Amino acid sequence: MKLVRTLIAAAVALTAASAALADINVGVTLSLTGPGSGLGIPMQKQLTLFPKEIAGEKVNLIILDDASDPGKGVSNARRFITEDHVDLIFGSCITPVSAAIAPVAAENKTLQISAAPVGVPPADEHWVFRLPQGNDVMAHAVIEDMKKRGVKTIGFIGYTDAYGELWLKAMEPLVAKEGMKIVDVERFQRSDTSVTPQALKLASANPDAILVVASGSGAAMPEMAIVDRGYKGKIYQTHAAATPDLVRIGGKAVEGTYVVSGPAIVAEQLPDSHPSKKASIDFVTRFEKAFGPGSRNQFAGHSYDFAIVMEKIVPMALKKGKPGTPEFRTALRDSMETIGRTILAHGVMNWTPADHWGYTNETGVMLQVKDGKFVVVK
């Protein structure tokens, strides 16, 4: 009788193990605390609406806070791989943390879908794909708008980390090509609470326009400092600043600011011909039903788009392997490169072996803050 009970217990354990093996496990690392929390929290909210099942397989999201810290992001990634045996990693939402995770994902041959625009060494590029628009694509939209407004001289103030550096590198060749000039470059840390010296230098240089490269709630502070120093020119912000936090914190100081963005947060303002209008409206409708009118957020949009991507690549990968196996992890990565034209709330995506960014120069939508709201620039 004892042997029978043992065999039954073993059979139950084996069945449970088989069921667990069939689950798709996704490691999610987001900045839910720290300077990046303005990005991570809305992404986490959208993930509460994530499908529980894809292609007949249960999906488990294992969500951890990386506290906006690259070291913590690495710890999360290692835990995902060694303890949770995830099939892929989603995150992080800020560039420095995503950059730190990339070599861990590559070393363990695990797909990383970054929720931040991140540049990585060629050795890590094979396993990393991005959901946010690349800085080159968004910089193109900014420069085109500056051209229309007669801008010739530009001031730059941005994070000292990879996000700031990548934006500066994206802007420099475009500025040179259009005969413009960057007259002053200032940098600051994400954790800084004041940029008074940098703002004074920029105001003294008095360029036609100033580009602020920051994210979430941290994007308002440098702009407020610049305005307080008496600067009267045009101010531009990047797509990481296209959040309610910019207006909530910046108030009157950010009125008139030009902000480049993906199409998701201005769904109703998009022309009917825009390919992303249907997906964008679906995103904002679902999100605001769950979290209240006006709660839409472009970073939540990346989590929405992540679900679209998963619903497309999982069936493709299941043809080559079962969840929990190296074959499935590799097949997920390979499916990203053959996903084909895919309509997202943030634009049209088509990753290829040569392009793990995916978006085109038509992606960026220029907005302006008017009466505390983001309005599409005509």
Burial class (CB in 10 A: 0-12, 13-18, 19+), 89: buried
- Same domain, residue pair 174 and 255: yes
Domain shared by 227 and 165, yes or no: yes
Query: Is the same domain home to 152 and 251?
Result: yes
333 and 256 inside one domain = no
Residues 298 and 207 occupy one common structural domain: no
User: Is 214 a domain residue?
Assistant: yes
Q: Are residues 147 and 194 in the same domain?
A: yes
In the numeric block, the tokens 């004892």 are attached to 2
Answer yes or no: do 180 and 238 share one domain: yes
Residue 368 belongs to some domain of the structure: no
CA neighbours closer than 13 Å in the CB half-sphere of residue 257: 35
CA distance 374 to 321: 45
pLDDT tens for the chain, residues 1 to 378: 444 444 334 444 444 444 445 699 999 999 999 989 989 999 999 999 999 999 999 999 999 999 999 999 999 999 999 999 999 999 999 999 999 999 999 999 999 999 998 989 998 999 999 999 888 889 999 999 999 999 999 999 999 998 899 999 999 999 999 999 999 999 999 999 999 999 999 999 999 999 999 988 899 999 999 999 999 999 999 998 988 889 999 999 999 999 999 899 899 998 888 889 999 999 999 999 999 998 998 899 999 999 999 999 999 999 999 999 999 999 999 999 999 999 999 998 999 999 999 988 777 889 999 999 999 997
Neighbours of 113 (CB within 10 A): 27
CATH of the domain at 78: 3.40.50.2300
Q: How many structural domains is the chain composed of?
A: 2
The reported pLDDT for the residue numbered 230 is: 95
Contact 265, 373 (CB under 8 A): no
Tell me the C-alpha distance between 231 and 258, whole Å.
15
Q: Is 144 inside any structural domain?
A: yes
Rounded (10°) angle between helices 95-107 and 162-177: 110
Residue 140: the pLDDT is: 94
Residues 188, 299: one domain? Answer: no
247-to-44, 62, 218, 240, 373 alpha-carbon distances in Å: 21, 32, 12, 13, 8
Closest CA to 140 of 360, 372, 337, 367: 360
CA 173 to centroid of chain Cα atoms: 24
For residue 22, tell me if it sits in a domain.
yes
- Domain stops at, among 238, 261, 284: 261
Q: Which residues pair with residue 235 across a beta bridge?
A: 210
Residue 120 in any domain: the answer is yes
What is the predicted pLDDT for the residue at 321? Answer: 96
Residue 79 belongs to what domain range?
A: 2-133+294-349
Last residue of a domain, one of 237, 261, 285: 261
Can you give the pLDDT at residue 364? 82
Determine the pLDDT at residue 4. 40
- Does 371 reside within a domain? no
Q: Are residues 125 and 141 in the same domain?
A: no
Indicate if 210 and 235 belong to the same structural domain: yes
Residue 167 CB partners (closer than 8 Å, separation 6+): 135, 139, 158, 211, 213, 238
Considering the domain boundaries, does residue 286 fall inside one? no
pLDDT for res 3? 40
Tell whether 248 and 301 lie within a shared domain. Answer: no
Whether residues 198 and 311 share a domain: the answer is no
In a domain, 367, yes or no: no
Only one residue has tokens 């991507």, namely: 309
* pTM of the model as a whole: 0.79
Q: Which alpha helices (DSSP H) does 117-243 contain, by range?
A: 122-125, 135-148, 162-177, 196-205, 220-228
CA distance 41 to 17: 33
Question: Which residues, in sequence order, are bridge partners of residue 150?
Answer: none
